[in-house]
Amino acid sequence: MNKPTDIIEQVSEPLPMKKALSTLQKMVLDHANAAGSVSEPYLQTFSIAVSSTDPLLWLHNQDLYPKFFWSNRKKDDLVAGIGTADVIEYDKTGPNNVSFDILQKELCKKNPGTRYFGGFCFNNEQKQDEQWRAFKSFTFVLPDIQLSVTDGTHTLSCHLMIEPGENSEVRYRRLLETIAKINSSTLRDIPPLPEINSRSFSPDKKQWIKTCNQILQRFQEGLMGKIILARQTLLEFNRGFSPLLFLLRYPFSESSTYRYYFEPEKNTAFFSFTPERLYRRKNNELLTEALAGTCSRETIDNGNGDACQQLLNSEKDIREHKFVKDTIVRELEPICSDIDMEERVRALQLNRLAHLYTQCRAELKPEASNDSAVLKTLHPTPAVGGVPKTKALEQIIQLEPFSRGWYAGPVGWISRNSAEFAVGIRSAVAKENMFYLYSGAGLVRGSNPESEWEEVDQKIADILAITRQKR
């Protein structure tokens, strides 16, 4: 044990899950017999190729926590994880920038290529409501066990982190016990969701329209250029159940969305079907985007119209999108030596909705080639906060009758060398039978409060569609 990191990989043809688990146990046991003390943090990763296995179904069959799931928008990077081999977390109220710096400081102590999965709350200066109790200012987990699908290759891995002074024998034994608890079943029995007892909104429609009109008046006075106003929709089911059923029963597999799930304790989870990338970083290369302006197919020609073309011809949506584009370029300038924001605005078609979309590539300056600098610059984007940023954040706290928690916060994965974060919108937090759904609308001069209410309905329509499935 003289190296801070060891990767032990079994090279073989992909094994069935049950045999792979048995082989993984043997690999860990072989190294446990040679275990000794360590003088610095020491990470071992054991990996083995497995036959094709649905990560979500595998996760559903496990009864170990925390649980998480990540899928990028291209669906060529899927990871399901359980348990905690290592964790970086923080849970004190204060500026988001403090959270970002603390995470960066801790990451500098970790192996450069090791990915931690988790998320941040939207505004760490805001007091959080009770439904967010299990979610810290930020949490990033290296799981005990993870099932990954990368470019079609399925890999089962386990991680063992030993700190100086720890009893390595105890850590090995704990990992072996965790592997022994893994359910290797491939059963596909996915139960339907329970019935909904009640549905309520915060704010209700009357208050929403009143608040929108207040904001529109502030636009007239020149106090702001744009703000995102969010709504909370509470669904009360007739019993508690696993929130993972929402991902398992998600019927729009081809939709261009990230899928994110974090369940810190049983039946308490945050999940998101978000179309929006915050950024992807690899060393000093940065990929981000402007995503703003929304149109629903269902609101034009009884669902038969071209939502993309409608968006591209909408003066209001083009103006809203330009706010986001211009703000991103302006905010990137201090940390980037080269910025290439596409001139052409495209439309991104999802299941029900289309969004205006522009991609941006940039090269980070050497002193800013880290995620703390990027997070401070890009979060919150104008698509979830507003313009100007500080004023919009102040207004959001004053005007929204709930705390956002992890809604619209950065969610994804991070390592020392690279990271990918999505924006946690089109999302929900669940606790037993209570599910709080979140969606927002971008208000600019000329916005119609009634239309914006309909837009927030459309943005959670895919989640609500799952509740109406019978099987």
Residue matched to tokens 């329970």: 194
In sequence order, what E strands does 163-297 have?
196-202, 226-237, 258-265, 268-274, 277-282, 285-296
Q: How many CB atoms lie within 10 A of CB 398?
A: 9
Q: How far is CA 246 from CA 74, 79, 260, in A?
A: 20, 17, 11
Q: Determine contact, residues 416/112, Cβ cutoff 8 Å.
A: yes
| 221 annotated to bind ligand | no
| 343 annotated to bind ligand | no
d(CA 386, CA 328): 12
Please list, in sequence order, all residues whose beta carbon lies within 8 angstroms of the beta carbon of residue 451, skipping any fewer than 6 positions away.
Answer: none
Q: At what angle are helices 205-220 and 449-459 packed, to 10 degrees?
A: 120
Burial class (CB in 10 A: 0-12, 13-18, 19+), 170: exposed
At residue 463, the 3 state secondary structure works out as: helix
* Residue 263 appears among annotated catalytic residues: no
The strand pair at 226-237 and 346-349 is best described as: unpaired
Q: Determine contact, residues 430/269, Cβ cutoff 8 Å.
A: yes
* Active-site pick, 67, 110, 263, 276: 276
**DSSP string covering 83-123:** S-SEEEEE---S-HHHHHHHHHHHHTTS-TT--EEEEE-S-
* Active-site pick, 226, 325, 376, 459: 226
Encoded tokens for 290: 């402007």
Q: Determine contact, residues 385/43, Cβ cutoff 8 Å.
A: no
Encoded tokens for 116: 């931690």
Buried-state track 149-158, b at ≥16 Cβ within 10 A, e below 16: beeeebbbbb
Name the strand (E) or helix (H) holding 363.
strand 353-364
Q: What is the largest CA-CA distance in the chain?
A: 72
Q: How far is CA 342 from CA 117, 119, 204, 289, 421, in A?
A: 30, 28, 39, 9, 20
d(CA 351, CA 261): 20
In sequence order, what E strands does 277-345 have?
277-282, 285-296, 336-341
Peptide bond into 388 cis (omega under 30): yes
* Residue 470 appears among annotated catalytic residues: no
Instruction: Output the known binding site for Mg(2+).
Output: 320, 455
Instruction: Output the known binding site.
Output: 320, 455
Which residues are identified as catalytic?
226, 276
